Amino acid sequence: MHLFRLARLTLPGLAVGFIAGVLAGGLAAFVGQPAGWALVSALTLGVPLGLLGAGYTMLLINGKIRLGGFAPAAAYWLIGFPLARMLHEVLTRLVLTGQPGLPPDPLGFLAYQGIVSAGFAIGFLWLHERVAPRYWQRLAAHDPDARDVYLRYAEHARAMFEAAERRKAARGRKPSARTSVR
Amino acid sequence: MVDSHNPPSVGLSSGSGTRGATYEGVGEERVWRAGGLEPMPIRPLPEAPPSIHLLGPTVFLVALGVGMGESYMWPRLVLVFGPEIRWLFLIGVTLQAVVMLEMARYAMATGESIFSGAARVFKPLMWFFFVTAIMVYIWPGHLSAGASAFEEITGIPWVVTACVALILVGILFSLASVIYDLLENVLAILIGVLVVGTAIIASIVGSWADLGSTLGGMFAFGYMPSEMFSSTWFPIVVGSIAFAGPSGMQQMWYTLHLRDSGAGMGAHVPKIRGLRSAKEEEQMPSRGFMFDTGDPKEMAKWRGWRKWVTFDAFLLFWGITMLVTISFTVLAQSASRENPNVKTLIEGGDRDAALRAMSDAFAAAGGPVLGGVFFGFIALIGLNATLGLFDSFSRGQADMTYNHIPGAKRFRLSHLYAGFLWGVITFGIMILLFGPADGPSGILDILAFLSSFAMGAYCVTLLLVNNRMLPKPIRPKWWSNAIIGFGAVFYLGMLFYSLFRFGVVLD
């Protein structure tokens, strides 16, 4: 798949991961250093989280994980989030000190990040599910893959909509249902 | 559809329910008769949605629940008493998750709010909540925390921010076509950002040791330091348990959001609209609906809804509330390590000074931007709570007025909603400008004052409503009743114990 098309298709996960990483991670890691250093720190977290986010979206598009499921998202980030944070620590250290190095107690570090990943997974999924269906709807006219995944969402939404319409119609037949109750 | 030719197989004759509630055939329609109000016609129960992207109403509880309790009061208690005190938080939030499930039971089964359920049991009970809501929630105290944090970042005086925010909230809700949809989307994005951001910041600032002690403390059941039983700390500790998750009447309002989101039988009730498109509002029925609990297919769908709301309660509500509190506790611990002065200030109880000191500690450790980010999150929490509270208050009061005040049906529900919304906004601005605004903390305390009493009262109401007004097959299990009963005893018992033993209400 062409790189541009891939990026366009997986933009929801890419954007949520990247923006979350750059905003929160970059600012939190801004250790009183010049702006250039802070930028490096932001990118070393934003880029891995963005790429991992795109990976999650890709799996969703390919039908490897179900729409909106929490368990697959939590499992994905249980591995992905600690890796991204480890990369962030190592690269930030490398840029700041010129020496590559792991954080003290790497196993404890990974275990801690693994637990926090559950929270990240909830927030990621929450935002992803808000953004992605609408985005794919816009893309559906040009991209068959986007159309396919959007149709999966739409199929469900249509069932819900039709049920709502049926109920509305039922209310229409009995606009003042209470009159027949008395 | 259940009709007179194909009636529900359970409880068709009068007396098939229990005291206060029965299935009956009235005219050509089958109805569920519960309490003294209009009977509920039988309608089909919609299918439950299968996955997370259709979740919604929990957004409101999370937005309302993740407030000062989570971001300030519990971190404070951890610094004062140690992480072991968090077992009480675990109890408080778990209790609230069960309350949430039971609130949802009535709302999803009938499409009515818990206020209407209370009116079916005993009308003055509902009026008690009507009056309590006005007494507790017209004060703009919840605005002050977020607006003060915004002042720290921008320098704009908090009263100005609060007044502008009040007017913006009013305009936003008046212009929205369907208020629920707008608010759900806005809150969902804000909470999503809050959750993702808090998780990342906690992952950077916190450590395994902080998290380990915080998590371990949640299971230190029975830990009660003797200092806790003093007139200073007892009201604060018990008040913080009440504040764990949604406090006051927030759980009751959740039933209105459930209905408006179309959960369960709420699908049969039209949505509230903004003032601009109020004319498009469909006729609001004056009572809810019931499904045929004797039909196995309907009961299978009911179990689907229960599963859906249980997932909501435990993963989203319980999970996010826990996550935010744990993150803020970890932040407070690392801040107090950076600057021992933080611990003294937090223990001293001046919230604004303590939050400022925490921000300073982060700024010292991670540059001024990090201190700003901390206040940004406090402001975000304040904004969430403000949006949620204004909408919920107006929704609850409008619902009670429309359904239970004679003559109110001359107005549309949307007009009543707008009336309460602009009423509370106008009052809020007056108080902020001319009231006894001796600083933000002073106002927030009024909110805490009646919180526990309302919570004890709604536990009793829940027990009565769910066990007397619903058909037997969908009533709560004994253990659920036991937990809600414990809640009633706990909230009311602690309130009166504190009042008589120490002469102070809960804080």
- Looking at every residue in chain B, the average pLDDT score rounds to 78
Which residues, in sequence order, are CB contacts of B381 under 8 Å at separation 6+? B66, B67, B68, B70, B71, B145, B146, B194
At residue B185, the pLDDT reads: 73
By DSSP bridging, strand B21-26 and strand B40-41 are: unpaired
The distance of Cα B189 from the centroid of its chain, to the nearest Å, equals: 18
Amino acid letter at B208? Answer: W
Which range (A86-90, B113-117, B435-439) has the least confidence?
Answer: B435-439
Segment B159-181, tens digit of pLDDT: 888 888 888 888 877 776 666 56
Q: Using CB atoms, which residue from B197, B208, B319 is nearest to A24?
A: B197
Max avg pLDDT among A8-17, B97-106, B310-319, B359-368: B97-106
pLDDT beyond 60 at B267: yes
Q: Is the ipTM of this complex over 0.85?
A: no
Segment B232-260, tens digit of pLDDT: 788 888 878 877 777 778 889 889 888 88
Written as one string, the DSSP assignment of A80-132 is HHHHHHHHHHHHHHHHHHSS--PPSSHHHHHHHHHHHHHHHHHHHHHHHHHHH
Residues from chain A contacting residue B1 (CB–CB below 8 Å): 170
CA A175 – CA B268 distance, rounded (Å): 12
CA B409 – CA B323 distance, rounded (Å): 43
Q: What is the mean pLDDT of residues B319-328?
A: 77
At residue A163, the pLDDT reads: 58
Q: At what angle do helices B368-404 and B141-154 cross, to 10 degrees?
A: 160
CA B204 – CA B199 distance, rounded (Å): 9
pLDDT beyond 60 at A77: yes
The Cα angle at residue B139 between residues B136 and B145, in degrees rounded to 5: 110
CA A38 – CA A69 distance, rounded (Å): 35
* pLDDT confidence bin for B488, thresholds 50/70/90: very high
Q: What is the mean pLDDT of residues A38-45?
A: 78
Give φ, ψ of A77 to 5 degrees.
Answer: -80, -20
Distances A53 to A66, A115, B194, B198, B199 between C-alpha atoms, Å: 15, 18, 18, 18, 15
Which residues, in sequence order, are CB contacts of B350 under 8 Å at separation 6+? B441
Residues from chain B contacting residue A168 (CB–CB below 8 Å): 282
Please state whether A27 falls in left (phi above 0), alpha (psi between -120 and 50) or beta: alpha
At residue B439, the pLDDT reads: 39
Residues from chain A contacting residue B327 (CB–CB below 8 Å): 119
Q: Using CB atoms, which residue from B198, B270, B369 is nearest to A30?
A: B369
Segment A111-142, tens digit of pLDDT: 889 888 888 888 898 888 888 888 888 887 77
Q: How far is B127 from chain A (nearest CA, A)?
A: 24
CA B417 – CA B421 distance, rounded (Å): 6
pLDDT beyond 60 at B11: no
Which residues, in sequence order, are CB contacts of B224 under 8 Å at separation 6+? none
Q: Using CB atoms, which residue from B46, B199, B202 is nearest to A163?
A: B46
At residue A171, the pLDDT reads: 52
- Looking at every residue in chain A, the average pLDDT score rounds to 77
Select the residue from A16, A65, A67, A115 to test the B interface by mutation, using most B Cβ atoms within 10 A.
Answer: A115
A56 and A12 Cβ atoms separated by less than 8 Å? no
B380 and B190 Cβ atoms separated by less than 8 Å? yes
Segment B469-478, tens digit of pLDDT: 999 999 999 9
Both structure tokens of B16:
């098939």
Amino acid letter at B212? Answer: G
Closest CA to B359 of B211, B150, B77, B196: B150
How many beta-carbon contacts under 8 Å exist across A and B?
Answer: 168
Q: Using CB atoms, which residue from A38, A67, A130 is nearest to B189?
A: A130
CA B450, B455, B458, B459 torsion: positive or negative? negative
The per-residue b/e assignment along B420-440, b for 16 or more CB within 10 angstroms, e otherwise, is bbbebbebbbebbeeeebeeb
At residue B244, the pLDDT reads: 78
B259/B108: higher pLDDT: B108
* pLDDT confidence bin for B120, thresholds 50/70/90: very high
pLDDT beyond 80 at A94: yes
| Lookup result for tokens 């009507």 | B130
Question: Measured between CB atoms, does B309 come within 8 Å of chain A?
Answer: no
* pLDDT confidence bin for B114, thresholds 50/70/90: very high
Q: What is the mean pLDDT of residues A160-176?
A: 52
CA dihedral B451, B455, B457, B460 (to 10 degrees): -170
> Counting every residue, how long is chain B?
507
CA B322 – CA B90 distance, rounded (Å): 8
B467 and B503 Cβ atoms separated by less than 8 Å? no
CA-based radius of gyration for chain A: 22
Both structure tokens of B396:
């609850």
pLDDT beyond 80 at B445: no
Question: Measured between CB atoms, does B483 come within 8 Å of chain A?
Answer: no
Residues from chain B contacting residue A80 (CB–CB below 8 Å): none
Provide the total of helices (H) and of strands (E) in chain A, helices listed first.
Answer: 7, 0
DSSP A25: I
Comparing alpha-carbon positions, the chain B residue that sits nearest to A171 is B268
At residue B6, the pLDDT reads: 35
* pLDDT confidence bin for B486, thresholds 50/70/90: very high
Residues from chain A contacting residue B316 (CB–CB below 8 Å): 122
> Counting every residue, how long is chain A?
182
The Cα angle at residue B97 between residues B93 and B101, in degrees rounded to 5: 165
* pLDDT confidence bin for B467, thresholds 50/70/90: very high
Segment B60-97, tens digit of pLDDT: 556 555 666 666 777 778 878 888 888 888 888 889 88
CA-based radius of gyration for chain B: 23
Which range (A82-96, B327-341, B356-370) has the least confidence?
Answer: B356-370
Amino acid letter at B453? Answer: F
The percent of residues in chain B predicted with pLDDT above 90, rounded, is: 16
Comparing alpha-carbon positions, the chain A residue that sits nearest to B51 is A68
CATH code for B21-426? Answer: 1.10.4160
Interface touch A28/B327, C-beta < 8 Å: no
pLDDT beyond 80 at B362: no
Q: What is the mean pLDDT of residues A54-81?
A: 86
CA B256 – CA B261 distance, rounded (Å): 9
CA A124 – CA A17 distance, rounded (Å): 7
Question: Measured between CB atoms, does B39 come within 8 Å of chain A?
Answer: yes
What H or E segment, with its residue span, contains residue B29?
strand B29-34
Residues from chain B contacting residue A69 (CB–CB below 8 Å): 51-52
N- to C-terminal Cα distance for chain A?
65
The per-residue b/e assignment along A47-82, b for 16 or more CB within 10 angstroms, e otherwise, is bbbbbbbbbbbbbbbeeebebbbbebbbebbbebbb
Find residue B40's DSSP bridge partners.
B32
Domain ranges of chain B: 21-426
Written as one string, the DSSP assignment of B309-359 is HHHIIIIIIIHHHHHHHHHHHHHHHHHHHH-HHHHHHHHHT-HHHHHHHHH
Interface touch B203/A81, C-beta < 8 Å: yes
CA A93 – CA B443 distance, rounded (Å): 46
Closest CA to B469 of B107, B130, B207: B107
Domain ranges of chain A: 3-180
* pLDDT confidence bin for B138, thresholds 50/70/90: confident
Identify the burial level of A101 via C-beta atoms within 10 angstroms of its C-beta, where 0-12 means exposed, 13-18 middle and 19 or more buried: exposed
The distance of Cα B438 from the centroid of its chain, to the nearest Å, equals: 27
Please state whether B66 falls in left (phi above 0), alpha (psi between -120 and 50) or beta: beta
* pLDDT confidence bin for B447, thresholds 50/70/90: low
Question: Measured between CB atoms, does B86 come within 8 Å of chain A?
Answer: no
B38/B153: higher pLDDT: B38
Closest CA to B205 of A116, A125, A96, A118: A116
Both structure tokens of B405:
């005040």
Alpha-helix residue ranges (DSSP H) falling in B69-207: 74-81, 86-110, 114-121, 123-137, 141-154, 158-175, 179-205
Residue B22, helix vs strand vs coil: strand
